[in-house]
Structures are given as structure tokens and as C-alpha cells.
Structure 1
Amino acid sequence: MKPSLAKGTRDFTSLEVSRRKYIINILQKNFELFGFQPLETPSFENLSTLTGKYGEEGDRLIFKILNSSINEAKEDKKTQMLTDFQKALDKPFSAESLTDKALRYDLTVPFARFVAMNHGKLTFPYKRYQIQPVWRADRPQKGRFREFYQCDADVVGSESLWQEVDLVQLYLKSFTELKVSVTIHINNRKILSGLAEYAGITDKLIDFTVALDKLDKIGKDGVVKELLERNISQESIDKLDFLFNQSNDALENLLQLKEKFAGNEIGLKGVEELEFVITQSLNLGVNIQNLVFDITLARGLDYYTGAIFEVKADEAQMGSIGGGGRYDNLTEVFGVKNIPGIGISFGLDRIYLVMEELNLFPEEAASNVEYLFVNFGGEETSEALKLIIKLREKGISAELYPESAKINKQFTYAEKKGIKNLVFLGEEEVKNNTVTFKNLEAGEQKTVSLEEFLNS
């Protein structure tokens, strides 16, 4: 059988792994600078933990795990169970005899489950970061995979809007260090609720936000068509037409909303919260060009209750490379009330693609071996290994070519592997306590004393 990869998954070469670690190291350093502590949760959860948290479309993308009891059943029973399973594919998964586990869809819901289970042991506000893979049964395309990494930072136990302000700083500091120019789009779910009330479609809030969230993919006409298909009247759509004609001035757009939201309590609350976050961010030196009030930003996840973020690269067509928001009621579904939360996520895989496209990875992001020792065979090989051990003790990467092969073959190996220096420790070098090495990038070769080599 010809080997192949499952759709939406990838292998990573040593260069790709090194570059991904470069991104992760910068994010991890900043997470800890901002006071976040690490957490890891299982790769799969109880299905009941995940379903109903992401909206109708999100629930369809959850990878369900077939119960092991099916595999353990006798043949006649197994056939019936698999038949039932096939019938259930087009229906919501409620039959526990088929599946009661699923791969995690994101890191936020498992985090909320963790907080609900451990809230009596945690110190609030509790700040955690998490860097782990997630899975979605999505249609693979550029920048969209079925298995991918999220890098999350969340705070629970605080309603303070200063958390939103601080997360804006975390985003900008991290992307500045990665040298990726970004724009942070920001909105507030209370504003979206206010818009639904303003248009008389409060009972259609989820339908409204799900359609609006697709604006950058299907355009205004596509959103209007979908709203009509979701039984939202043309009259209500006409009242919302101003959404598609916003100015570039965030505060001016908020002022316009204040006028439309007269007497609309939830809408005005959303405007007030967003005004605070934007104003305080500007006071801290954030460039208004980097923080955009995007009234059409909805982020189609049901659990958001306040601020919502989406980060886009300025110089690459990649969709969002980060996102998040406030979710003040998420732990309630696990029986624990009054633990507000907010979090953001960095999309490692998309950030990688952007940095690769823009050639932003520094040379040190590749973990190349510093020295390859030519294998001459005999006593020289033993002496080479002694020297390699001393280099490794100093934290310098070095290896010995395993066979006593022709020099050209060893040289070709070093070039293909991207090794910087080829080291010759032959009979003369051993006799004179010297080392000869050639820098393969510069093409320069020199012989130095053993002591000078180790201290260089």
C-alpha cells in the first residue's frame, strides 16, 4: 500500500520544527512576562464537554471518537452498531452507544472545564497559557488544517476591562518581536446584541452573527443572501445597511452607534466597554492604525459575551492569525457561576505561513549542527569523539560522520544537512595538538591549536 497522510495533517521537517519552536519560544516568553502560567489538558474530552459551546457550525466540525465498545463487541452486534453509527452520521450525536468522546476543538472550553473542576484550588484572577494541538473536521485549504496548534492566553476571575487592554499589548509585543506587521480588529458582542435589538431581530441573534462573521469571505451580497435565508426580513436588513459603510475612524463609528442605540441598554454598554479599551490602548501608545473597531466582526462562537478580537497580517493574504474575546458565562455550563473570563489565541500554523511567505525567519531559527568531524578511521576517530564530547559540554552541537567514507561523500553530507563547519582531525592534527576546520559558508579553511579551537 502506498503511504499517505490523512487530509488536513502534515509532517514537519527539521527546519520546519525549528522555525515553529522559534515562534513558540517568543510567545511563551511573552506569556510568562505578562504573568501567565502554563497548563496542559488531554487531547480528547467527553463529547458532552464540547458540544453546545461553539454554535451549530462549530459543533459539526468536532471530531468524534468511536467508542471502543464497538470494537470489543461480537461480530453480529458490531455489525448492528456500525449500521446505527452510519445512520447517525447525518444527525446530532446523542447516542452514547456510538460515541461519548471527541478530540478537542479548541483550548478554551477544556480550560473552562478545568477551571470548573479546580476553582476551589485556584488563585483568582487565574492566568494560564496553553500551547497544544486542536482538531477540526474542516475542509482543508491554505492556512486551514484539520490538526493545528493554538497558543492561548486566558484570564479568569476578573471583569476588569484592563485585561482587554493588557491583551492588546500582549498581541502587539509578540507580533513586533516576530516582525509581523498586524492589525487588531476589535468589536463587542454586546454591540452585536444591540444591533439585533435595533433591527428587531433579537430572537435571531445567533443567525445574524453567524452570517455577519462571513463578511470577509462572501462579501455584503453573500451576507444579505444568508440573512434572508435565515428568515431575517428585508426591512431589518435595510436598518443594518450602515454596517457595511463604516469610516476609518473608530471613535467616530462608536459615536454614530451611540445615537442609534438611544434607549438600547445592552448596545450602549457594549459601546462604553469598547470605547474604554480603545481609548486606554491609545493612551499607552498603541497606533490607531493597529487597532481597528470592526463593527462587522462577530467571531461565530456562542460563548463570547463582551470584547472580541481578530488579528490580521498586513502584508499577507491569510485570514486571521489570532483571535479571542470575553466569555463571562462559560463555566456556568459546568455548574460553576460567577467566574468571568477573557482570552486570546495565536494561530501558530498561520503565523508560520505568513513568516515564511514574507521571509521573516532569522538564520538562527534553524537548528543546524555547528561542526561535522570527518571520520578518518582508527585512532583519529577516537580522538575526534573526545573533542566532540568537550564541545557538547560547552553547549556546541557537533557530530562525527559514522563511516570512514571518502571525503567527498562526507563533505556532501555536511552541505546537504546545512552544517556550518567541516572538521579535520587527522594524524598530523592529533600529533601536533591542532585542529583544521573549513567554514562551508565562507569557504575558508584554517588550522589552529586545540586550545584555541575549544575557546573560540
Structure 2
Amino acid sequence: MKPTIPQGTRDFGAATVRKRQYIFNTIRTVFELYGFQPLETPAMENLDTLMGKYGEEGDRLIFKILNNGLDNEAKLEKTRQGFEKILEGKSSKEVTERALRYDLTIPFARYVAMHHQQLPMPFKRYQMQPVWRADRPQKGRYREFYQCDADVVGSKSLLNELELINIYATVFQKLNIDIDLRINNRKVLAALADICGGAEKLTDITIAIDKLDKIGIEKVKEELLNRELTEKQVQTIESFLSITGSNQEKLEQLKNIFAGSATGLEGVAELEYLITHSLSAAHHAPVIDLTLARGLNYYTGTIFEIKALGVQIGSIGGGGRYDDLTGLFGVPGIPGVGISFGVDRIYDVMNELGLFPKEVAAGTQLLFFNLGEAEVSKALELAESLRGEGIACEVYHENSKFDKQFKYAEKKEIPFVGILGSKELEQGLVNIKNLQTGVQQQVAFAALASYLTA
């Protein structure tokens, strides 16, 4: 049988792993500069922890794990009954009680709910781990992918949103990615829902609006009508989505629309504060985008979304405020706000635009050829000395023909080979050949490190 991997997953070779680590390390460094602490949670969570937290569509994309231990007839019969419930559209603990995590935010909220009495508040954490979604694989969308999150809980201050905006701007500036940083506010959307029939319409409206980029305004209107909104309500939403102009012009129009809504004006005031106080450079400054909805039920205030300029890839980051997420786990009153980086998409953007520094993919710098016992003994000694200087090197594992050793170096893209024969051993020299230029030079043992780092 030909070996394969599950659709929507990938293997990563050395060059790819090094590039990904470059992204991780850049993000991690910025998180640490802002006082965030690392956290890791299990790959699987109890199904009850995840279900009902991501909206109707999100729940369908959760990878459920089948129960094990069908070691007797009674358990097997319960499992059969459980599958019958699932076929009826119900859930069944007889079949599955656990699932792979869908994102890092809900597991984080569960962690805070379990440990909030011991945590310093506000609690600032970052997390870099894989998540899984039963999505349809396509360019930039995978079933297994990494998220890098930063969240602050225990504070309602908008200073947290400002810092998260600055984190986005700093990270992408370090990665040399030009971005479109968009913000909106769920209070504004909640006020829109009130105008269009009441708070119970908010989820229907945000789910539809969230698809605007993918399906266009006409399909969004069609979906809203299918969700039992009236023609007049849909027209109100279309007018709202059509608001254009500078950030300040949008804010003025919103103040007029929501003049009679305390919730709407509160959302507008929060947007205005962030726009006014943002320290981001002009090309990374936030832009108010009223079409931004982020169709997750738990957001309650500011919402963020990041897209890379110059490439046709979806969002590479997003997040928002969720002022009662831990309330889902019986611990109400702990506000929070967080952002996420989509590392897999960031990698695709940087690869497509050629933004990785050349040195990122560098591995072994020097391969010592194996030309005999005495020569290898000295080569091992020199290799250890170079490693002590932080220079990656190898000694070929067996005394083979030059051609075989050269091919090994070429396959691993090792830039230098060191040829140490009996003559060189007597003279205290190594013949160093640059495989990229073909230039060969004799270098004294003591000068090897400085030669390779010049």
C-alpha cells in the first residue's frame, strides 16, 4: 500500500521547519516584550467544553474522538444506540465524549475558570499549539494548523486592545509583511440587530455578514432573507455595510445612525478611542471595517482581523473582546480580549513574497570528508571545536568515494566541505571548498572558525 497522510495535513522538511520556527520565534519575542507568559493545554478537551461555543457552523467543524474500550457486548450495544442518536442529529456520550481542540481560546477560558483564584489578574498568556478543524482543505486552509494566541483576562481597559494592535503591527513589521489591520465592534453590530428586530437576530446577522468577502452582498442578502429577516431589515443592513470614507467619516455616520442606542454609541466610542490612541505606523494603522463580523458567538466588543497585502490569501490573524467567556464554565465576571496569528498562512505569505531571510534556512555549514581513521579523529576534534563556536558541522559517517560524499553535501545544501588528508594533517591545514562558488582554499586549524564566519 502506498503511504499517505490525511487530507488537510502536511509533513514539514528541515527547510520548512526552520522557516516556521523563525515565525514562531519572532511572535514569541514580541509577546514576551509585552509581558505575556507561555501556556500549553491538552490536544483534546471534553466535548462539553467545546460544543456550543463556536456557533452552529463552528460546532460542525469540531473533530470528535470516538470512545475506546468496546470490550464487551453491553458497551457495544450502547455504542450502537449512540450512533442511532447521532444519525438523528443528536449528540451521544456513548459514542464520543472528547474532541480535538478547535481553537486555543476556549481551552484558555476553561483553564482560567479552573485556576482563576491562583492567577495574577490581569492574567496575560500566550499559546502556540496546533488546532484541528473538519474543514474542506484548500489553499491557505488546513485541517491541522498552528495558532499563536495572546490574551489578557481580568481587565476591561481598552489599553489592552491598544497593546494588542501594537503587537500585531510590531510582529508584521519584523516579518516585513505589509498588512491591512481592520477593526470593528460587536456592540455596533448588536445595535444594528436591535434596529433589525432584536438581539436574537445578532447571530444570524453576524454569520451572514462574515461571509461577505466570500459570497458577495447579493448572496448575503439572500441568506438574511432565508434567516427570516424582512426586506426592510435587509435593506438597513445593506445601507450599514455600504458606509464608506475615512475612519473619522465612518465614526460620524455611525453616531448619527445609533444616536438613540446606548449600546451602539458605546461601541462607536470604543472604536474612536482605539483609532485616536493607536501608536501604529501609518502602513499598519487600524482601519474601521463595518463589514467585519467574525462569526463567533463569544465576542462582545472590539474585533480584529488582519490580511496581508499583495497576496490572495485569507486572514492571517484575528480576535476580539469576550467579556464573559469564563461564564460558560460557571465563573462569570472575568472579562478578556485576545488575538491570534495564523502561522500557516503567514508562512504561505512569506514564501510567496520571498520574505524569509536567507540565513533562516541554513543548517550544517561544513562537512568534513571521511578519508581514514587518523584523519577522522582530527576531524571529530575540529568539529567539536567549531560547534563550541556555534558553527554547525558534520563528519561523514564512513570512508567512501569523494563523489558519494560530495553528493551528500549537495543534497543537504551544505555550503562548505573540509578535506583533511594525511598531508594536510601533517601541515595543520584543511582544504575548504565552497560548493556554491567552487573556490578551494587551505585554512589553518586555528583559523577555521573565523574563516567560516567571515
TM, length-normalised to structure 1: 0.96
Q: Tell me how far 1:389 sits from its aligned partner.
A: 1.4
1:397 aligns with 2:384: no
Q: Tell me how far 1:94 sits from its aligned partner.
A: 3.1
Task: Supply the distance in 2 between the matched residues of 1:390 and 1:60 (Cα, whole angstroms).
Answer: 56
Q: Tell me how far 1:209 sits from its aligned partner.
A: 0.6
Spell out the pairing of 1:215-254 with structure 2 (5 A cutoff): 215-254=212-251
CA contact (8 A) 2:169 2:284 kept: no
3-state SS of paired residue (1:279): helix
Match of 2:411 in 1: 416
Task: Supply the distance in 2 between the matched residues of 1:369 and 1:2 (Cα, whole angstroms).
Answer: 32
- Distance change (3 Å), C-alpha of 1:93 and 1:406: farther
CA contact (8 A) 1:220 1:244 kept: no
Q: Report sequence identity in percent.
A: 53
- Distance change (3 Å), C-alpha of 1:18 and 1:288: closer
Q: Structure 1 residues 107-116 or 374-383, which shifts more?
A: 374-383
The one-letter amino acid paired with 2:23 is I
Computed over aligned residues only, the root mean square deviation of the Cα atoms, in angstroms, reads 1.5
The one-letter amino acid paired with 2:35 is G
1:101 aligns with 2:98: yes
CA contact (8 A) 1:421 1:439 kept: yes
Spell out the pairing of 1:158-237 with structure 2 (5 A cutoff): 158-237=155-234
- Distance change (3 Å), C-alpha of 1:288 and 1:232: farther
Match of 1:22 in 2: 22
Match of 2:9 in 1: 9
Q: Tell me how far 1:121 sits from its aligned partner.
A: 0.6
Task: Supply the distance in 2 between the matched residues of 1:346 and 1:375 (Cα, whole angstroms).
Answer: 45
CA contact (8 A) 2:126 2:151 kept: yes
CA contact (8 A) 2:178 2:283 kept: no
Deviations 1:412-446 (A, max 9, x none): 21112110100011111111111111111222111
- Distance change (3 Å), C-alpha of 1:220 and 1:289: farther
Task: Supply the distance in 2 between the matched residues of 1:247 and 1:347 (Cα, whole angstroms).
Answer: 28
Q: Tell me how far 1:228 sits from its aligned partner.
A: 0.8
Q: Tell me how far 1:199 sits from its aligned partner.
A: 2.3
Spell out the pairing of 1:135-146 with structure 2 (5 A cutoff): 135-146=132-143
1:67 aligns with 2:58: no
Choose the corresponding residue for 1:438, options 428, 433, 450.
Answer: 433
Q: Structure 1 residues 22-31 or 395-404, which shifts more?
A: 395-404
Deviations 1:311-342 (A, max 9, x none): 00011111100000000110011111221000
- Distance change (3 Å), C-alpha of 1:260 and 1:454: closer
Match of 1:155 in 2: 152
- Distance change (3 Å), C-alpha of 1:15 and 1:285: closer
Deviations 1:63-110 (A, max 9, x none): 1111123x3x32x44653453344344455532111111111100010
1:37 aligns with 2:44: no
CA contact (8 A) 2:166 2:280 kept: no
Q: Tell me how far 1:167 sits from its aligned partner.
A: 0.6
The one-letter amino acid paired with 1:18 is R
CA contact (8 A) 1:401 1:410 kept: yes
Task: Supply the distance in 1 between the matched residues of 2:90 and 2:244 (Cα, whole angstroms).
Answer: 44
The one-letter amino acid paired with 2:2 is K
The one-letter amino acid paired with 1:208 is I
- Distance change (3 Å), C-alpha of 1:274 and 1:42: same
The one-letter amino acid paired with 1:6 is P
Choose the corresponding residue for 2:336, options 334, 337, 341.
Answer: 341
3-state SS of paired residue (1:399): strand
Q: Tell me how far 1:41 sits from its aligned partner.
A: 0.5
CA contact (8 A) 1:36 1:128 kept: yes
Q: Tell me how far 1:203 sits from its aligned partner.
A: 2.1
Q: Structure 1 residues 394-403 or 213-222, which shifts more?
A: 394-403
CA contact (8 A) 2:82 2:93 kept: no
3-state SS of paired residue (1:324): strand
3-state SS of paired residue (1:320): coil
Match of 1:379 in 2: 374
Task: Supply the distance in 1 between the matched residues of 2:281 and 2:205 (Cα, whole angstroms).
Answer: 31
Task: Supply the distance in 2 between the matched residues of 1:409 and 1:128 (Cα, whole angstroms).
Answer: 50
1:322 aligns with 2:336: no
1:269 aligns with 2:266: yes
Q: Tell me how far 1:278 sits from its aligned partner.
A: 1.1
- Distance change (3 Å), C-alpha of 1:358 and 1:273: same
- Distance change (3 Å), C-alpha of 1:162 and 1:296: same
Q: Tell me how far 1:40 sits from its aligned partner.
A: 0.4
3-state SS of paired residue (1:372): strand
Q: Show structure 1 runs of 5+ residues with no match.
A: none
Deviations 1:241-267 (A, max 9, x none): 223323231221111111111211111
3-state SS of paired residue (1:112): helix
1:133 aligns with 2:130: yes
The one-letter amino acid paired with 2:55 is G
1:331 aligns with 2:333: no
Task: Supply the distance in 1 between the matched residues of 2:169 and 2:217 (Cα, whole angstroms).
Answer: 30
Choose the corresponding residue for 1:286, options 281, 286, 298.
Answer: 281
Task: Supply the distance in 2 between the matched residues of 1:118 and 1:289 (Cα, whole angstroms).
Answer: 36
Deviations 1:224-255 (A, max 9, x none): 01101111111101122223323231221111
